[in-house]
Structure 1
Amino acid sequence: MSSSPFTYPDRYLPIAEHGIIGNLHTTALVSVTGSIDFMCLPRFDSPTVFGRILDADKGGFFAFECVTEGVQNKQLYLPGTNILITRFLGEDGIAELTDFMPIVEGERDFAVFRRLKGVYGHHRVRVKVAPRYNYGKAGVIAEKNPGGRGYRLRDPEGKQPTMLLLCDLDLEITDEGLSGIIDLHQDDNIDFILTLEEGIDFDLDWMNCFNECRRYWTDWSAKCHYDGVWREAVLRSALALKLLTSARYGSTIAAATFGLPEKMGGPRNWDYRYTWIRDAAFTMYAFLRLGYTHEAEQFMDWIRDKCMHHLQLMYAVDGETNLEEETLEHLEGYHGSRPVRIGNGAYNQKQLDIYGELIDTIYLYNKAGGSITHAFWQSIVVLVEYVVEHWHDKDHGIWEVRSGKQRFLHSAVCCWVAIDRAMKIADDRSLPCPYEEWRKVRDDIYAEIYDGYWNEDLQAYVQYKGSDVLDASALLMPLLRFVSSQEPRWISTFNAIEENLSADVLIFRYKLEHGAADGLEGDEGAFAICSFWYVECLARIGQLDKATVVFEKMLGYANHLGLLSEEIGLHGEQLGNFPQAFSHLSLISAAFQINKKKR
C-alpha cells in the first residue's frame, strides 16, 4: 500500500463516504475526507475530469489533507441546502472545508467554491489538484494563468473546456497538476474557485456567492409542502432529486454516477447519467406531492419537445437518443469492478411499462392544475393507441433484462394504467377519444392479468406469464391502483414476496438462485426502492406500526448525510450508482403513505 499523501488506506473509500454538490447542470462527489472524487464537466453526462472513485490512479481528484496523524472527519449539509461542510478534527484543533456550486443559468458558468477555514489551532494542509480529462484517458497541462490570478488546467487533447483554479497561493506545477502546503491558522479563510476559462460573467466573490447559493436552497426547501414525520429525510431526498434535475432542460437523471458496482468486483456496472422515462416520471410524482409544480412543468415541456413523437426508454439530458454503450478499458473500476461502462445498451430496448408510468404522471400533473393542450392530448392519444395495439407484446421489463423478452407482469399492469389514466384525463377535461374501445382493452388487460399471471402453486402473481419466479415489482400493483390492497390474490403475493425475497427490511427484486434469469453474470444487493415499496404496501394493508419500523430501519442504511445509492449489499454497504433517484423518490412516497395513514 502506498504511503504517499492523498491515497486512501485501501485505495478506495466506501461509496457511502461521499456527499454531493451541484449546480443543476452537473454534480460532484466530495469524500468525507474533503476530496472531489467524481465530477463530469460541463454536464451530467459529459466526460469526467475527476474520477478516482472509478480508478484510484488514473481517475483524478481535488483533495485536501491535514498533515497531522489521527485526524477524524465529519461531514454535514447546512440545513435545507446542498452546501457541504467537511470538518477535520485532530490534535491541532479544528479545520473546516465548505463546498458548493453556485446555481447559474448556463452550463458554461460552472464553478466549484471551496473554502478552508481555520476554526481553532494551527494546521498544515496539503492540497493537490490532479484532473484527468476525458474519463481519465488524458492527463492535464497545468500552467500559470496568463490572464492573471491562479492557474490554468488544460485538456491535452483539447476536447473539454479549460479550467481555471483561482486562488492566492503559490502552488507547485507538476505533471499531475498542482500541489502545495497551506499553513492554516485560526480565523484564516483560504479560498479556491475552480471554474472555466471561457465566459466568466458572474460574480466570483466567495461570500456573495455563498449567500446567494444558501438563499437559493433555503428558499427552495421552504416550498416543500410535506410537514409529517421524517421531514428532514424527505427534504434531503427532495434536495438530492433536485440536484439530479437539469435547470436547462427539465430532465432528471437516474443517478449522478456511472460504473459503480452492484456487487464489489462484479460486472453489473452501468451508466445512470441519463433520463429514464420511468425514473423521471416517478421523480415528478414525488415533486408534485411535495408541491414543486415548477419542476413538473419543466419536465412536461421537455417531454412535449423531445419525446412525444417517439417514446423510447431513455435519453441523454438534452434529448439525444443514441446512447451506445462502450467500455472504458483503461479504468480498473471501483475496487477492481470491471467493466466500467459509459452509454447504456438498454436505450433501445422495448419496455412497455414506460407508457403507463408517463401517462400516470401526466394524469397527476393534470390533477395538480397542469395544462393539457389539444396538441398535447393528441400526442397522448397516439401513445395510448400504441398501447392498445401492443399491450400483449413481449418486452424487456422494468429491470431491463438482457435474457430476452417476456410478457412481464409489471409491463402488463402499466399498459392497464396507461389506458385507465388517459380515460380519466379525458373525463376530467372532456377530451375526445375512442372511450368505449379503450375501456374494452383496459378490461381485457385486467382479466388477463388476474388469471393469466397467477401461479396456483406459488399462490402468487409471477414475474412474467408462465413463469414461477417472484418479482418485487408486484408490490406496485396496489400503488398503481390496479388492485385493492385487500385483494386476496395480491395479499397472498405480498406474503410470498415477504417470505422469499426479504432479508429483514431489505427486499431483493428477484432471486437468481430461485430461477430468475436476466442474462447477466454476477450477483447483486437488495434494491432500496423495493424496500420502500414494501413499506408503502405495509401501510396500505394496515400494518402501520410495522411499516414505521421498517421505514426507520431503512433510514439507517442511508449514509451520514441521508443519501442512498441503488442497492444495499449483504454486508450493509451501499452499492451501485450514487445517489440514486429511485431510492430517494420511493423514500418520499413511503413517508407520505405512512403519514397519510397516521392522520
Structure 2
Amino acid sequence: MECGAGSGGVDGARYLPISEHGLIGDLRTVALVGTNGTIDWYCCPRFDAPSVFASILDADNGGSWELAADVPTRTRQFYFPDTNVLITRFYAADGVAEIQDFMPVVDESREASRHRLIRRVMCVRGTLPFRARIAPRFGYGAEAHTVRARIHEAVFESPSISLALTSTAPLESDGADVSSHFKLLEGESVVFALDRISDDVRPQACPHAEAEVQFEATVRFWRQWLGRSRYRGRWREMVHRSALALKLLTYAPTGAIVAAPTTSLPERVGGERNWDYRYVWVRDAAFAVYAMLRLGFTTEAEAFMGFLSDRGIMRGVGPTGPLQIMYGIDGRTELPESELPHLEGHLGSAPVRVGNAATTQLQLDIYGALIDSIYLYDKWGQPISSDRWDEVGAVVDWLCEHWDQPDEGVWETRGGRRNFVYSRLMCWVAIERAIRMANRRGLPADLLRWQRSRDAIYRQIMREGWSAKRGAFVQGLGDDVLDASVLMMPMAKFISPTDPKWLSTLDALTADLVSDSLVYRYDPEASPDGLRGSEGTFSICSFWYVEALTRAGRLEEARLAFEKMLTYANHVGLYAEEIGRSGEQLGNFPQAFTHLSLISAAFNLDRALG
C-alpha cells in the first residue's frame, strides 16, 4: 500500500482506515501501528486493560504515539519475513528510512516482569529528518497524568499505571506529552523503548546494542514457532500470516485466546454495532484450536485446554448452563458493559463500549464448538484426562436435557431468543463427538440417552429446519429466512456435502446472500436482530462458503472465491470482521474468526485440488 504523508485516510488527517494498520504483540497485549507510523491502539499490560493509546477511537482525545519522517513521503508497510516484527518504510526525495516495531518476546513463559514496546528508526539510504510525539491518554482517555522528563528519559504517571520512555535521541517535554526531533544519515538509527514500570521494575535504557539483541531474539522466537507448522500448500504465505495473527491473540499467562484485540471498531461507520471483543469467546477460541491443530500447533490447543481446566470453566453452574459464552482472559465471568461518551468513536461511530453484556446470553452452539475442539485435541493432540472426560460427560448430560429451547444464537442477536437451526446443529455436534470419543476409547457414558438426543435433534432439523418453499435449510425452525451459519452443516458432518438438499441450500445461499464471493450473515430486514442499521459481509461466512463449495466438489468456483477473498486482505494479510460495500474493512481488527476460517478453507481446498 502507499499513502502520502499527512493524509490521514477517509476523514482528512484525523483517522486512518481500519485496514491501514499492522499488528505487533508479546502474547499479552498488542499495538496497532498505522501505515503513517502512528501507534493508535495500545492497552497495557494486557489485552483488556484500559487503553494508553486509542486515537483510532478518538483522534483528539484517545492518545497516540506519532513517529514519522518530517518531510513529504510515501510509505510501505510489511512484516519482517515469518515474524510479527513490523516494518514501516518512508520514501522521500533525499532518502529512505524505516521503523522497526516490535514487542520483545523470547519464550512463552507465563510470567514477564517487563512489558516493553521497542521502536527502532533506521536510515537505509540518504538522509531523513524525523519527528516523534508520544501522547498517552490513560484509562481510555479519562485519567490525568504527569510527566517527568530528562534528556533521554520520560516517566508518565497516572493513578492506575506508570510508563517509562527511553530514547537514544533527545526528548522534550510538552505539557502532558513528550516530543523528539532528529535527523538520520545513512546507517544511523534511533531507538525508543516504552516500558511499564512499578516498584519492582524501574526504567531501563535501551541502547542500540540492546535493541539489536532484542530484535534478533524476537525474530528467532517467531521463526522457531512458525517452523512447527505442517502446512506446505499453495497459500503458505497467507496461511502462515493468519497463524501468526492468531498466535498474537493468545494470552500466554492463561492460554486464553481473544476474539480480537480491539473494542468498538464499527461494523458500520456511524452505526451502533460497536462491541468489545477483547475477551475469550468459547466458540471463537474452540474454532481457533481446530485451526491450530490443523497446522500442527498442539501447544496452543494444550494451553487452551489448560485454561478451561485450571479455571473450572466446564464445571460452571449458571442460568445458561455449565458454560457462558465468553470469559475474561483470566477466566473471570463478570464482564459488565458500559459506554464511554467522552470518546467520539472511530469516524464518529458511537458508542464506544468496554465490557460485553452478551455474557448473559444463552448460545447453545458453544457446546458443539467446544466439545468438537476437545474431540480433535483428543484425536490429534493428547488423549484427554479422566477428569476432563467427566466434565464432558456432565456437559453432554446437561445438553440432553436443554437442547430443545430457544436461544440468542451464534450471531448474538439482541432481538430476543429464537429456535435457531445453527444452535440445534451444534448441539448435535456436541453429543455426536462425545459419542465418538466414548466409543473410540471405551469411556463410560450413558450412550443410549445420548444417542436418543442426538437422533431427536437430527430429525427435528431435517423436519423443521428445512423450508420446502426456499428449497433450503433456514435460519430458524419453521421459518423461510436464509442464514449463512448453515454453511457449517457439511463441515460438521451433519449432512453429506453432495446431498441434494444441501446442494439446493448452497444454491439458495449463493443467490440470496453471496456478492462476488462475499457472504452476508442474513438479511436484517427479513430477520430483525434488535439493532439499527446494516452491516457488511461477514468474512468467516465467506471462507465457510469456499469450504462448502470445496466439499461439494465445485472446485473451480471454490478456488476463484478463495482467491477473490484474498484480495480483501489488507497490505500485510490481515482481516477485520467484515468487508464493506466498497471493499473496506469493518469491525474489530484483526479478527480471530476470519483468520481461523481462512486456514481451514485453504487446508481443505488444497487437499481437494491435490
TM-score by length of structure 1 reads 0.96
Match in the other structure for 1:99: 101
> Which of 358, 361, 366 does residue 378 from structure 2 map onto?
366
**CA shift at 1:200, angstroms?**
4.0
The letter of the residue matching 2:560 is: V
Give SS of 1:20's match.
strand
Amino acid at match of 1:192: F
**Equivalent residue for 1:274?**
279
Give yes or no for the alignment of 1:354 onto 2:362.
no
**1:302: Cα distance to partner?**
0.6
In the aligned structure 2, how far is the partner of 1:170 from the partner of 1:22? 26
CA–CA separation in structure 1 for the residues paired with 2:87 and 2:470: 51
Partner of 1:84: 86
1:522-555 deviation per Cα after TM superposition (whole angstroms, max 9, x unaligned): 1100000000000001111111111111101100
Contact 2:415 2:530 in 1 (8 A): yes
Aligned match of 1:406: 418
Name the structure 2 match of 1:442: 454
1:63 positional shift:
1.0
Alignment of 1:360-399 (within 5 A): 360-399=372-411
- Determine helix, strand or coil for the equivalent of 2:179: strand
Deviation readout 1:55-99 (Å, 9 max, x if unpaired): 000011111122212x10000001110000000001121011000
8 Å Cα contact 2:51-2:137 kept in structure 1? yes
- Aligned counterpart, 2:23: 20
C-alpha contact (below 8 Å) 1:140/1:177 kept by paired residues: no
1:530 matched residue in structure 2: 541
1:290 equivalent among 288, 295, 312: 295
For residues 6 and 545 of structure 1, do their structure 2 counterparts lie closer, same or farther at Cα, with a shift above 3 Å needed?
Answer: closer
* Amino acid in structure 1 at the alignment position of 2:586: L
| Counterpart for residue 320 of structure 2 | none
SS at match of 1:520: coil
Instruction: Tell me the CA shift for residue 170 of structure 1.
Output: 2.4
Residue of structure 1 in register with 2:496 after alignment: 484
Deviations for 1:275-308, whole angstroms, at most 9, x for unmatched residues?
0000000000000001000100010011112211
- Offset of residue 440 of structure 1: 1.1
What is the aligned-residue RMSD (CA, Å)? 1.5
For the Cα contact (< 8 Å) 1:141–1:177, is it kept in 2?
no
C-alpha spacing 1:263/1:107, structure 2 compared with 1 (3 Å): farther
Give the SS at the match of 1:529: helix
Q: Could you tell me how far apart the structure 2 residues matched to 1:242 and 1:369 are?
A: 18
State the Cα deviation string for residues 125-144 of structure 1 (Å, max 9, x = none).
11100000000112432212
Matched, 1:61 2:64: yes
C-alpha distance in 2, partners of 1:379/1:496? 40
Candidates 551, 560, 568, aligned match of 2:571: 560
Partner SS state of residue 346, structure 1 = helix
Query: Are 1:121 and 2:132 an aligned pair?
Result: no
Partner of 2:177: 177
**Percent identity between the two aligned chains:** 47
Give, in whole Å, the separation in 1 of the partners of 2:213 and 2:181.
27
Structure 2 residue matching 1:521: 3-state secondary structure: coil
Any idea what SS the aligned residue of 2:250 has?
Answer: coil
For residues 30-52 of structure 1, the C-alpha deviation after alignment (integer angstroms, 9 at most, x for no partner) is 00011111001110011000000
Q: Tell whether the 8 Å contact from 2:169 to 2:191 is kept in structure 1 after alignment.
A: no
Alpha-carbon offset, residue 176 of structure 1: 3.3
CA-to-partner distance for each residue in 1:455-504, whole Å, 9 max, x for gaps? Answer: 11111111111222100001000011111101111211111110000111
1:109 is matched with 114
AA matched with 2:596? L
Aligned with residue 75 of structure 1, among 70, 77, 85: 77
CA contact (8 A) 1:477 1:483 kept: yes
How many positions carry a matched residue from both structures? 589
Is residue 2:61 matched to residue 1:49?
Answer: no
Residue 545, structure 1, aligned to residue 551, structure 2: no
Match of 1:37 among 19, 40, 44: 40
Is contact 1:353–1:412 with CA below 8 Å preserved after alignment?
A: yes
Which residue in the other structure is 1:313 paired with? 325
Distance 1:296-1:249 versus aligned 2 partners, 3 A rule: same
Residue in 1 that maps onto 2:252: 247
- SS where residue 13 of structure 1 aligns? coil
1:98-247 maps to which residues of 2 (within 5 A)?
98-103=100-105, 105=109, 106=111, 108-144=113-149, 150-155=153-158, 158-159=159-160, 161-198=161-198, 199-200=200-201, 204=206, 205-247=210-252
Aligned-pair CA distance for 1:6: 9.8
Q: Answer yes or no: is the 8 Å Cα contact 1:42–1:108 preserved in 2.
A: no
* Partners of 1:25 and 1:107 within 8 A in 2: no
CA distance in 1, matches of 2:56, 2:152: 30
Judge conservation of contact 1:363–1:421 (CA < 8 Å) in 2. yes
Structure 1 position 587 matched with structure 2 position 598: yes
C-alpha displacement of 1:107: 5.2
Listed one character per residue, the Cα deviations across residues 231-264 of structure 1 (whole Å, up to 9, x for unaligned) are 0000000000000001111010000100100011
- Local SS of the residue matching 2:140: coil
Conserved in 1, the CA contact under 8 Å of 2:547 and 2:604?
A: yes
Q: 1:507 to 1:578 in 2, by over 3 A?
A: same
Contact 1:142 1:174 (8 Å CA) reproduced: no
Structure 2 residue matching 1:180: 3-state secondary structure:
strand
Measured in 2, the distance between the counterparts of 1:538 and 1:305 equals 39
What amino acid is aligned across from residue 518 of structure 1 in structure 2?
A: D
Matched, 1:470 2:482: yes
In structure 1, how many angstroms separate the alpha carbons of the residues matched to 2:221 and 2:205?
A: 15
1 CA distance for matches of 2:6 and 2:577? 31
Q: Distance in 1 between matches of 2:171 and 2:224?
A: 38
Q: Give 5+ residue unaligned stretches, structure 2.
A: 317-322
Please tell me whether the aligned partners of residues 234 and 606 of structure 2 are also in contact (alpha carbons under 8 angstroms): yes
Letter in 2 for 1:43: R
- The offset of 1:371, in angstroms, is 3.0
Take 2:574 and 2:176, find their aligned partners in 1: how far apart are those partners?
31
Asked if structure 2 preserves the Cα contact closer than 8 Å seen for 1:130 and 1:140, the reply is no
In 1, Cα distance between the equivalents of 2:408 and 2:119? 44
Distance in structure 1 (CA, Å) of the matches to 2:191 and 2:277: 33
Q: Distance in 1 between matches of 2:565 and 2:390?
A: 42
Residue type at the aligned position of 1:564: Y
Letter in structure 1 aligned against 2:593: F
**Structure 2 CA distance for aligned equivalents of residues 213 and 348 of structure 1:** 40
Does the 8 Å CA contact 1:452/1:465 hold for their aligned counterparts? yes
Supply the distance in 2 between the matched residues of 1:589 and 1:430 (Cα, whole angstroms): 30
Matched residues in 1 for 2:422 and 2:386: separation?
30
Q: CA separation of 1:334/1:528 partners in 2, compared to 1, >3 Å: closer, same or farther?
A: same
- Is this contact kept in 2: 1:42–1:107, CA < 8 A? no
Q: Note if contact 2:75-2:88 (Cα within 8 Å) is conserved in structure 1.
A: yes
CA–CA separation in structure 2 for the residues paired with 1:305 and 1:382: 17
Task: Show structure 1 runs of 5+ residues with no match.
Answer: none
Secondary structure in 1 matching 2:257: coil
2:105 maps to amino acid: I
When the two structures are superposed, what TM-score results if normalisation uses the length of structure 2? 0.95
